[in-house]
Amino acid sequence: MGNEKSASYGNEEYLGQIINHQWSKSSEFENLFREYVKKFVTYDVSYFSILRPFFEVKITEIFAKYSQYFPIFSSCNRIDKIVQTSSLKSHWCCECPKCAFVFVMLATFISKEDVVKIFGENLLNKESLINTYKELLGITGIKPFECVGTPDEVMVAFYLTHKKGEFDEDVVMKMFLGEVLLKIKNIEEIKQKVFEVDDVSSIPEGFRKLITK
């Protein structure tokens, strides 16, 4: 499977339980299901996630090196419905939390010109997405029920994008600079954490070299 470390992070705590809409992609589920397969199905199959050692931001850093895929990839869950009911020819709705998340992740590693070209517009300059970005940053509401990364990853993405200076005059970045960045005391420590490659012991030995290259 291609489930990343970020998927193990829940959306909200409710009645003493962590609610995670991605639980079937979490490391907890992966470990339980792997043991189930071995116990009740077959020893010949090992269930694992090749991307488990990485947070989303690290995966994006790797993906950003392959620009040939920029015009054709998508990570928007709404666009199929939009395309079915309109003549829109796009891979992105540019309104949902998933689009907002992927935009700032990519902006961390590629130029403003290139990321705007991918989406067709600048999502860091859309006032309608300010509250969505606040939820992604973990400063209001709950983590959106979408397959997005952790608030720490989003903070680091905004921080690194700000250091490039290309988006500083845009409304969402101004929100981050005015309401979030000044309150973060350990941003370099958080950055180090989200770029770490986790333990790969759950990955069969024959596949580990793909992770450790």
58 CA to centre of own chain: 9
Question: Is the pLDDT at 86 greater than 60, yes or no?
Answer: no
End-to-end CA distance of the chain: give it in Å, rounded. Answer: 19
pLDDT mean over 144-155? 95
What is the per-residue pLDDT for 84? 54
CA dihedral over 117, 190, 150, 201, signed as positive or negative: positive
Confidence band of 200 (pLDDT split at 50, 70, 90): confident
How far is residue 58's CA from residue 195's CA, in Å, rounded to a whole number?
A: 6
pTM above 0.85, yes or no: yes
Q: If pLDDT is split at 50, 70 and 90, which confidence band does 89 have?
A: low
Cβ atoms < 10 Å from Cβ of 123: 26
Phi and psi angles of residue 67, each rounded to the nearest 5 degrees, phi first: -65, -15
Structure-model confidence comparison of residues 75 and 210, the more confident one: 75
* 171 — pLDDT class (breaks 50, 70, 90): very high
* pLDDT-derived band at 4, boundaries 50, 70, 90: very high
**CA dist., res. 33 & res. 84, Å (int):** 35
**CB neighbours of residue 73 within 10 Å:** 12
- Of the pLDDT bands very low, low, confident and very high (cuts 50, 70, 90), residue 63 is very high
Q: How many CB atoms lie within 10 A of CB 33?
A: 15
User: How confident is residue 30, by pLDDT bands cut at 50, 70 and 90?
Assistant: very high
Could you tell me the pLDDT band of residue 90, with boundaries at 50, 70 and 90?
confident
Of 151, 210, 197, give the one whose Cα is nearest residue 52: 197
Mean pLDDT calculated for residue range 4-17: 93
Give the Cα separation of 208 and 95 in Å (integer).
37
Residue of 209 and 151 predicted with greater confidence: 151
Give residue 184's pLDDT: 92
Whether 69 and 63 have beta carbons less than 8 Å apart is answered as yes
Taking a C-beta distance cutoff of 8 angstroms, is the pair 127, 149 a contact?
no
Strands 17-19 and 12-14: antiparallel
SS3 97: helix
Cβ–Cβ < 8 Å for 37, 84: no
Boundaries of every domain in the chain: 1-54+197-213, 57-196
